Amino acid sequence: MRRTSQGRHLAATVVELEGTPDLERICRSAERLGKDHPILHARNERSKKDWIARWRTDLASREAVPVRRWHLPGAPTAGGEEVPSLDELIGRIINGTEIDIHAAGPNLIFHVLVLSPDRWVLLLAWSHSLMDAVGMTKLLQLLASDASAPDDSSLAAMDATPVSELYKQAYPMIEEMRKFPSRRPRSLHRKGARPGASRFHVAAFGREETAVIRTKMAATAGELLLLPYFASCAARAVQAVIAARFPEEDASILLSLPVQRQSDPAKRPLFSNHMTPYTLLLTGEELAELKPATSALYRKYADFMRRKLPAAMHALMRMMERCPSRFYNLPAFIYMRGEICSLFHSHTGAFLPGVDTMFGCRIANGYHVPSVSAPPGIGIFFSEHEGQLALTISWKEGCITPLELELLKETLSQDLGIPVP
Amino acid sequence: MEQELIEIVRTEILDTSEPLTPQSDLFAAGLDSMGIMQLLLAIEDKFGVAIDPADLSRENFSTGAKIAALVAGKQAA
């Protein structure tokens, strides 16, 4: 993203809380977190010796994580700077420049926004290079427990597996990926157009609306298969836009999903990617109806797991960590017509399971707003907190027209069984 | 079978050292949608039983004992 001037792959995590913020307590936590984890102020640098990107924690300060205070118009007594709305603040964060992993400085920032006398938001701005949503969940659990966690960043040290060995391990995934170009998958990225700012739309469904969505899901895919169901909804929505844009093509969708590590003997450090991505292809035919699409997605996931492809994908990612991005972008752009996948989809599941309160306040709701690169130019994410589903659509300006966005929402509305505002 | 299922959940899916009993609430222990998908695969591989989507309810998967009863029922059918 940075190389193509698309921003810094930042994400915002929103935790809506009841009551009023205890700033002293939040600042204490921010101070402790910064002191315990130098990675939060470290810069990321490629070693000249092995070209692997590493966090320079040896040079980092142990400052407190910055805490910024905000208030809405008409509520200056809440303190901090004025911001027109929560969405405006999220937009500023995911398009911001304050977090820069290549320079010394904060990689995580706390924002406190008072919405009303009895409702406030803790907004965490973070770099996706620092961790993924699972890492963020672990961090939020740590904050909620008001405990310390030892610095475990040394666990992130790369092993010295030679690239030739990694290539052997990664080969099954490379073979798998060679099948993709023949289906000519597309994304919403418009070739030749320079992607603009990161945009987003959050639809936070209430408990009754979520119950309607859940009932439809249970009748279609069973009560528990959230990931294939919501991933199918997301894939079908993007496919509807691509099919409208290229009516003469049989639009296949290349879906990038996270896969949970299994029996991982190497415990991951808090600030790291806890999930391995995997990519699967869904044909236009498979996506024609929601129920078969969900079944197809689950079958392909099962096939991916049975063929032990997560390990191959993990080896491929480790290989790529050692290469300049141009090294792997170029073949991808040649063989895939410039596409890497059709959409991003992750963060599915319960938001902060097992945690009811944070900083002494009850958690009312929560969701993530990650920025996305172009290609693919779009990401669709779902999460749920205490029976309240949140849908986040994130895109790059210029990748989707207002009319196409309406088509995307309409398709999502039909599949979810409830209007997406 | 109960114990075998619990060990699969504990070591291969939740990857936890916390003890689990046949009555432990697996959702409270962290079993999520992705974990369910992995568990379904493990059940197919180890017990030769494919679970229908209609049987995928929180009730059926809430504890190791209930999953074992579901799998045993499928094997007997």
What letter does residue A49 receive in the DSSP assignment?
T
What 3-state DSSP class applies to A201?
A: strand
d(CA A290, CA A225): 13
| The model's pTM | 0.90
User: Contacts of residue A349 in chain B, CB cutoff 8 Å?
Assistant: 32-34
d(CA A168, CA A370): 33
Bigger pLDDT: A359 or A338?
A: A359
H/E element, A188 = none
Bigger pLDDT: A226 or A70?
A: A70
Segment A23-32, tens digit of pLDDT? 999 999 999 9
Render A374-421 in DSSP notation, one character per residue. Answer: TTT-EEEEEEEETTEEEEEEEEETTSS-HHHHHHHHHHHHHHHTS---
Select from B28, B30, B33 the Cβ nearest to the Cβ of A224: B33
d(CA A420, CA A287): 20
What is the share, in percent, of chain A residues with pLDDT greater than 70? Answer: 91
Instruction: Tell me the CA end-to-end span of chain A in Å, nearest whole number.
Output: 29
User: Contacts of residue A262 in chain B, CB cutoff 8 Å?
Assistant: 12-13, 15, 38
For B55, which residue in chain A has the nearest alpha carbon? A222
The whole-angstrom distance between residue A402's C-alpha and the CA centroid of its chain comes to: 23
Segment B1-34, tens digit of pLDDT? 888 999 888 888 887 777 889 999 998 888 888 8
What letter does residue A124 receive in the DSSP assignment?
E
What's the pLDDT score for residue A265? 46
A228–B37 C-beta distance less than 8 A: yes
What letter does residue A337 receive in the DSSP assignment?
T
Question: If you average pLDDT over residues A120-136, what whole number do you get?
Answer: 91
What's the pLDDT score for residue A155? 59
Bigger pLDDT: A155 or A49?
A: A49
Q: Please enumerate in sequence order all residues whose Cβ is within 8 A of that of A46, keeping only pairs 6 or more positions apart, or say none.
A: A52, A53, A54
Looking at the complex, report in whole angstroms how far the Cα of residue A412 sits from the nearest Cα belonging to chain B: 20
d(CA A187, CA A241): 9
In this predicted structure, the answer to whether residue A415 has a pLDDT above a threshold of 90 is yes
Report residue A303 as tokens.
């096939």
Render A215-236 in DSSP notation, one character per residue. Answer: HHHHHHH-SS-HHHHHHHHHHH
What's the pLDDT score for residue A157? 57
Return mean pLDDT, chain B: 87
Pick from A194, A245, A184: which is nearest to A405 by CA?
A245
Residues 17-76 of chain B with CB under 8 A from chain A are 28, 30, 32-38, 40-41, 44-45, 52-58, 61
For A219, which residue in chain B has the nearest alpha carbon? B54
For residues A179, A184, A186, A192, the Cα torsion angle rounded to the nearest 10 degrees is 120
Asked if omega into A150 is within 30° of 0 (cis), the reply is no
Select from A223, A258, A263 the Cβ nearest to the Cβ of B58: A223
Complex ipTM > 0.85: no
What's the pLDDT score for residue A29? 96
Looking at the complex, report in whole angstroms how far the Cα of residue A244 sits from the nearest Cα belonging to chain B: 32
Per DSSP bridges, beta strands A119-127 and A108-116 are antiparallel
Looking at the complex, report in whole angstroms how far the Cα of residue A141 sits from the nearest Cα belonging to chain B: 13
Place of tokens 């399971």: A353
